[in-house]
Amino acid sequence: MASQRFPRLGWIILAGACALFAANYAVAAGPVDVYEFPDPATEARYRALIAEFRCPKCLNTNLPGSDAPIAKDLRRTVHRLLVSEGLDNDEIRAYLQERYGDFVLYDPPFRPDTWILWLAPVLLVIIGLIVLIRIVRQPAPAPLSDSDSARLRAILDDE
């Protein structure tokens, strides 16, 4: 019976782990600024944009997820560029990239010095497939000769 209860415990642990993982994202909603938007569409654009940028101070948090002062300043800057200056999304990305470098972009641009970032995963999948195919295609081992089977039986009988 105990062996049957065990899988259920496993499911509970798994569900708990998933809940914790999800909670991680819920917490990441972070601080809320009060900004005025002319219409809900602009506000949606603002929310999507700030989520694209990485906070320069905090290594792996995006702008909406951080309460660092610099993240607040950059959210304010994005709001100003979007609402007061009416820039489009690409212009806002370029503005931040010109000042803070590729670091603020979670998706680095595809350039000669960054292609390995983009292509390495594909390359690894291809290498993995090649290895897998070679393993699957390996010829089955030759059956044991009579003398080898006799030796094997002798070894197993010793145990």
Partner 1 sequence: MNRAGLFVPLAVFALIVGFGYAGFKLNDPHVLPSALLNKPFPDFSAPVLGAAARVVGREDLLGTPVLVNVWATWCPTCKAEHHELMRIRANTNLRIVGVNYKDDPVKALRWLRDYGDPYEFTLRDSDGSLGVELGVYGAPESFLLDASGTIVYKHVGDINPRVWQNEILPILERFEVDVNG
Q: Which residues sit at the interface with partner 1, rule CB under 8 A?
A: 56-57, 59, 69-70, 73-74, 77, 97-103
Q: How far is the CB of 68 from partner 1 (least distance, A)?
A: 9
Q: How far is the CB of 63 from partner 1 (least distance, A)?
A: 12
Q: How far is the CB of 94 from partner 1 (least distance, A)?
A: 11
Closer residue to partner 1, CB minimum distance, 44 or 126: 126
Closer residue to partner 1, CB minimum distance, 136 or 154: 136
Query: Hey, how many other C-beta atoms are within 10 angstroms of the C-beta on 117?
Result: 13
Cβ neighbourhood burial of 4 (10 Å; 0-12, 13-18, 19+): exposed
Q: How far is the CB of 88 from partner 1 (least distance, A)?
A: 19
Closer residue to partner 1, CB minimum distance, 43 or 102: 102
Closer residue to partner 1, CB minimum distance, 116 or 156: 116
Give the angle subtended at the CA of 91 by the CAs of 89 and 93, to the nearest 5°: 70
